[in-house]
A = this chain, B = another copy of it.
Amino acid sequence: MRYFHFCKLPGRVMGIRLLRLTSVVIVVLLLVAGALTALLPSIKDDKMPNLRREPKTLSQSALDSFTLIMQTYNRTDLLLKLLNHYQAIPHLHKVIVVWNNIGEKIPEEMWNSLGPHPVPVVFKVQTVNHMRNRLQNFPELETKAVLMMDDDTLVSAHDLAFAFSVWQQFPEHIVGFVPRKHISTPSGVYSYGSFELQNPGFGNGDQYSMVLIGAAFFHSRYLEDFQRQPEAVYALIDETQNCDDIAMNFLVAKHTGKPSGVFVKPVDIRNLEKDTNSGYSGMWHRAEHLLQRSYCVNKLVNIYDGMPLKYSNIMISQFGFPNYANHKNKL
């Protein structure tokens, strides 16, 4: 076996001693570099909000960030105003705009001319103006979390950052800002509404059984699950152009066996409907809107062969925000 030791390298060109010295220096430098690398601080692991945007691997992003899905119809001015707001929310990974303006060009040129933008924004052109277009399993969706917002709703960055942190603690629930409930009646027919309806409980406060997806975080797997629902569910949503959110709450409640939603009380949530130039003011102004939703609840109970929605009275707020002593009491 040929024994090859660097000490025995031909040294006559530079001199044996100089060659040895150079080698030793190189080895020492490598060792020092190795030691420095080992001493670099590791990434902090606590739960406090990280407002700095650090470059991350895709898998890290997938867990720590969310995708905003915003469907839009006939309110492009509001859309663009809201995009300017939402594009800068902490932990946002990407925006998917579901373009329900059939036949109308997406504002991609204008969008690009006003770049650069903090995150990628994808415009998904639709072929029919359907309410449930936003519930597709978009291939562009890379994160575990989805933030779904109506195109006329502004929620503050603080509210969203907090609600996202709450979703991370309740990932199987719809964590959002708009609670609603169903109630039973003696005839067995259900009705849909908000706090103006009777309490479903014993006079001990109110309850909610749904959190609307027009301002909420939920797990992207529910978009996958939505693709596998009975045909009758799609038919119902298409017939009413309504109730996709009620259907999602049924889906989640059935999946978890628990209340579908967790309500986070918003500090600053605004409806910008009145601000649009289009004159279009949203589906919920239709006369039959609420009656339709009661109708949907009963139809969905038939389709799913039972009422899976469960009540909750948990209302979550952010400790010490905005008032640093908002938890203070006489004690």
Contact = CB atoms under 8 A, between A and B. Distances in A.
Interface of A: 46-49, 51, 153, 158, 161-162, 165-166, 169, 177-179, 195, 199-202, 204-208, 215, 259, 263, 265-266, 269-271, 310-322, 324-331
A310 B169 CA distance: 14
Contacts of A319: 179, 205-208, 263, 312-315
B270 A206 contact: no
A313 B316 CA distance: 10
Of A161, A177, A206, A269, chain B has the most CB atoms within 10 Å of the CB of A206
Interface core residue of A51, A215, A314 (most chain B CB under 10 Å)? A314
Contacts of A324: 195, 199, 205-206
A266 B169 CA distance: 22
Tell me the number of copies of this protein. Answer: 2
A330 B269 contact: yes
A207 B325 CA distance: 11
Contacts of A162: 205, 313
Contacts of A328: 195
Contact of A320 (B49, B153, B177, B207): B207
Given A158-B204, A317-B317, A319-B207, A195 B47 contact: no
A57 B157 CA distance: 50
